[in-house]
Amino acid sequence: MSAPALPDLELLQCSLDDGVLTIELDHGRANEMGSAALAEWAAITRFVEAGGARAVITFSKRRSRKGKPLFIAGADVTERKGWSDARVKTHVRHQRNTLARLRRAPAFHVAVVDGVALGWGTEFLLCCDYRLTTPNGSFGLPETGLGILPGAGGTSELWTMVGVAQALRLGMTGERIGAEEAVRIGLVQEQADDLEAALDRARALAAAVARKSPTAVAAFKRGVLRAVGQPALARSEIEARAYEHCVDSGEAAIGRAGFKAILRGEGADWGPLREAKA
C-alpha cells in the first residue's frame, strides 16, 4: 500500500519527517480560523486518516505587529459580514464537525501554544491529544460577551477535560487565564520554559509514538475515546475489540517476533495503518 501524498496547502506550513507531521500556523492577521483554513484542516485530517502520519505537532511562531505572540486568536468573524443567520449556523456546524473528525484522526496530535489562544484557539486545543504551553500562553472563551457561545466544542467538550465548574467559569465569565492556571485546571498538560523547549518536548513525544505500531496506536486512541462516558461493561468490550483488532491485523505477531529487538530500542517493521471497521 503506497503512502498518501501530503496535501498541497496554502495556509498551513507542513513538513513530514519519519512519520511526524509538523504544522506551523502562519496565516491571516492572527492565525484566525476561517473557511479556507478550515478546509485545509479537513485535508490534513483525510491525510492522517489514510495513514500519512503517525504523530502531528501544531505550533506557531507568529507575532502581532506589536510583538505579541499568537497561536490562534479566534475565528475569522470578518468573513461572515453579510452572511445570513442560516449560513452562519451551517458554517459553525461545519467547524464543529471538522474539529470532531480531527479529534478522532488516528495519530497522536500535540499542540504547542506560545501566545494567544482565544475562542477558536482554545477550542482547537480540544481536538488535540496533548497540549504544551510556554509562559506566553493565554487562553479564554470570550464568546458569550459577543452574544454567542463557544460553538466548536467549547460548550460540549471542554467540561470533559477541565470539569464542569471550570468550563462554566471560562465560558460564562470570559475570563482569560495564563499558562500556569491552564496547567492547573488541565486545559494543557505541561509548561515549558520557552517555545524551543516546548517544541523539543513535542518532538520527543511524537518520535516515541512514531516508533510504535500505527495500527496499535490508532486502536488505542479509538478505544480510549469510545470508552469515555460508557458503563464498565461497555468499556471492557471496547477494549477487547481494540485488542483483538491488533491481533487480527498481524501487528501482535510482528511484536512477538521482534520482541527482543524492540526492547533494545531497534524498533520493528510494522505494517501500514489498518483501521478497525466501525
Same domain as 188, residue 119: yes
Same domain as 192, residue 176: yes
Same domain as 229, residue 143: no
Could you give the angle at the alpha carbon of 26 between the alpha carbons of 50 and 177, nearest 5°?
A: 100
In angstroms, the CA 149 to CA 172 distance is 9
Catalytic residue numbers, as ranges: 123, 143
Burial 26-38 (b: 16+ CB within 10 A, else e): ebbebbbbbeebb
Domain span including residue 169: 12-210
Q: Among the three residues 188, 210, 232, which one is the final residue of a domain in this structure?
A: 210
How do residues 226-268 score in pLDDT, each as one tens digit? 999 999 999 999 999 999 999 999 999 999 999 998 888 887 8
Same domain as 202, residue 141: yes
Asked if residue 54 is part of any domain, the answer here is: yes
Give residue 278's pLDDT band: very low, low, confident or very high (50, 70, 90). Answer: low
Cα separation values, 11 from 26, 27, 90, 106, 155, Å: 7, 6, 23, 23, 27
Give residue 2's pLDDT band: very low, low, confident or very high (50, 70, 90). Answer: confident
Give residue 1's pLDDT band: very low, low, confident or very high (50, 70, 90). Answer: low
Same domain as 249, residue 165: no
How do residues 77-126 score in pLDDT, each as one tens digit? 889 999 999 999 999 999 999 999 999 999 999 999 999 999 999 999 99
Give residue 10's pLDDT band: very low, low, confident or very high (50, 70, 90). Answer: very high
Could you give the angle at the alpha carbon of 277 between the alpha carbons of 235 and 254, nearest 5°?
A: 85
- Which residue type sits at 114? D
Residue with cell 464543529: 96
Task: Cell numbers for 235, please give them.
Answer: 468499556
Q: Strand order in 116-118's β-sheet?
A: 70-72, 116-118, 138-140, 177-178
- Which residue type sits at 46? R
